[in-house]
Amino acid sequence: MPRVEELLTVEVKLSVAIQTQRPACLARVFAALVGQFYERGPFDSLARRVYDLYGEGDPEDAWQFRRRLDERLAARNCDPVSWDAAPRPRSPRPGSPRPGSCPVTSPSGGVPGGCVPGVWKERRGGCGR
């Protein structure tokens, strides 16, 4: 029987994340998982989506997420998120799996493990809103 988080779309998971996590906490979780992405583009895209969702509610929350994430990435000697970058279409590499067929990505949209970092597995110790 599938678990609830396996049935939710990435957009719903992101909405739950921004409603239940303070921007600083979600930025900390994102920065901790930057190395889990094989390419940096999908990570930046996910961060931009979260920034936009925070901005729909409170622009100050969006700004805090952006600032804290960039600070945490800098502390890890990583480049900041390309906030203004438009997604670039990429051509598949010869022999690469078709989208959705990679065993690392989830059926719900490509987030490793099938859940938004910190939403389903992180203990609440101080990270709730």
- pLDDT tens, 49-79? 999 999 999 999 999 999 999 999 999 999 9
- pLDDT tens, 91-119? 444 554 444 433 333 344 444 433 344 43
Q: pTM (2 decimals)?
A: 0.64
Q: Could you tell me if 57 and 15 are in contact, meaning their C-beta atoms sit under 8 angstroms apart?
A: no
Tokens 């997420």 belong to 65
d(CA 16, CA 106): 18
The domain ranges of the chain are 8-86+104-114
